[in-house]
Chains A and B, each alone.
Chain A
């Protein structure tokens, strides 16, 4: 800021306000994803020169995507799926019972929570595994149903 002050001969406060104003303009425009026409109309009221308005529009269009992806990181988030490792186990004996044959699937579920990765060890039996698969396949199928397709189409 100090170097700019020297070069352009204006106060530090002015520069700060200018930067803040520019940041606000770009983030709000990117957040709302406004069209070119709307952007031009909005800045027209500020009374800048045509050349400046063109530069601002170009700045907006060039940086819009990146600003939106950064803003997307700020949204509230639940732990999200990262990956799953699995292993087939058969329990043959335990302290309380010998000579068993008890199959189980042991899994390690990797989740991301706010830049941290957590791993949870879980286990399930074959019957529950098949039930899980059936339920989750149903979930995947929902996106392809007409109801969801109609809403996705109309919401754009």
Chain B
């Protein structure tokens, strides 16, 4: 904004204040999911003239959708979020302590993302076939209850 040629005649401090005020107003309106009439009423109380109010509302409506997406997904805390899973099936033949072990095992890695920093060491663990079946069974229960909840 400070580099915009149309605005170069205005005092930069005033410009910053205007920008901050506009941004705060937009974010608050978005947060409360206020509709156009509520915004207009609010701006009228602030003694803005009709033409300006109309312009503001038109611009606001254009950006509402993308604003909501940004705000709801990137701001705020949540536990580590699983984004993907990778797995490896191996068949153990021997180790230095014990030969002829002959055991299959799975190595599962859950790729996780932290809402704050965006990266986090992945959660890895090994499991037997029975344990993996237990895990998948529990995840399927969760999915079933999700489906039931959406039908309510």
Contact = CB atoms under 8 A, between A and B. Distances in A.
A interacts with B: yes
B83 A128 contact: yes
A106 B145 CA distance: 13
A132 B132 CA distance: 12
Interface stretch (A39-47, A48-56, A91-99): A91-99
B95 A98 contact: no
Mostly, the B contact residues are mixed
B98 interface: yes
A105 interface: yes
A140 B35 CA distance: 51
Interface residues of A, number: 58
B89 A139 contact: yes
Interface in A134-156: 135-137, 139-140, 142-143, 148, 151-152, 155-156
B80 A98 contact: no
Contact of B98 (A75, A78, A109): A75
Interface in A109-126: 109, 111, 120-126
B33 A88 contact: no
Interface in B94-143: 95-102, 104, 106-108, 110, 112, 123-127, 129, 131-136, 138-143
Interface of B: 27, 30-33, 68, 71-72, 75-76, 78-87, 89, 91, 93, 95-102, 104, 106-108, 110, 112, 123-127, 129, 131-136, 138-143, 145-146, 149
